[in-house]
Structure 1
Amino acid sequence: MQKKSDVPPQLESRMSAENFCVDLIEGFKKKATHNKEESMLCFWASMGGALLVPFFVTLGRDIGTAVGCDDAIFWLEKVIPSLLSVCVAFSTGWLQLRKPQQLWSLYRTSQRELEDNLQKFRFAVGEYAVVESSEKLLIERVTKIALDAHYAWLPMVPNPEKIA
């Protein structure tokens, strides 16, 4: 192993394989969490809105009368159900077009694969125990996982031909 002083300055700043893997894990974790939250928000907006629209349409007049606010009947019977319907349509369309639930699964799976390789590297088990350069093997595996995730992501990107 070379001493730090023997390493050329341009190579000193190079990231270690382990740090590279950890950075990718964090990136996939952040993307997975974002898509999970987006997916759950749209799901609840779709379900909640779809369940509340009939409630306001059928009971809007009764609610307005019960609270002594006859001026609110129009809002309770017409405006709120209309806004909820728009919310349901948008969130359902968003789920179908953007597919955050599939992206969530893709990114979380990639994160887990990276974590698996990182632990095998750290504890020198499996192929990492017998290979000549475990850092090179880790980089090879990490870049393959990232590239495979990219190729799995590509078909999910909305394009005009699919939409038409």
Structure 2
Amino acid sequence: MSIKVDMSLDCKGLACPMPIVKTKKAIEGLAPGHTIGSTSFIVDDSYLLSGDILFVDSIGRPDLAGKAEDWVSDLRNTLYTFYKELSQDLIVLPAHYSKISEMDERGIVSASLQDLFKENVGLNIADEVEFRKTVTENLPPQPNAYEEIRQTNMGKIHPSVEEEREMEIGPNRCAVHESL
């Protein structure tokens, strides 16, 4: 999805303070796979905000809505086609990290897309059937507050700031993990 300058976006139903948002700059949205509406953004032609699709040491999980078999192909397409066509110099800034070792000395979790294509096991499963099997057989337990987070993201419930913090506490369970 491309978002153009001065485009009006209808954000009703999302956890968004304003139902209509007017863009100031064009941005590119990419990346179904973690969920059908997953979006990644390229910022200033330098950074890839990968959301829950790509992490430093892993890849996103496609099963949170109970759709792993349906969405694993979207995940693979995003990772192996969309991302592969991007500048490999982009610095990936994921939404989460799993281990402190993923942080650099400044506390930043990032890596170049080129480095991730070399080192991230989830980006190096050439066979599509093997990718599907590896992803669907290595899913961690769902996040503790998954349903509440989902309802909040859709604007259906409105937790307090403290309740939001509580929902986010715990390990990153948005990724296909260690056994990859």
TM-score, normalising length: structure 1: 0.24
**Structure with bigger RCO (C-alpha 8 Å, 6+ apart):** 1
Structure number having the greater strand percentage? 2
Structure number having the greater helix percentage? 1
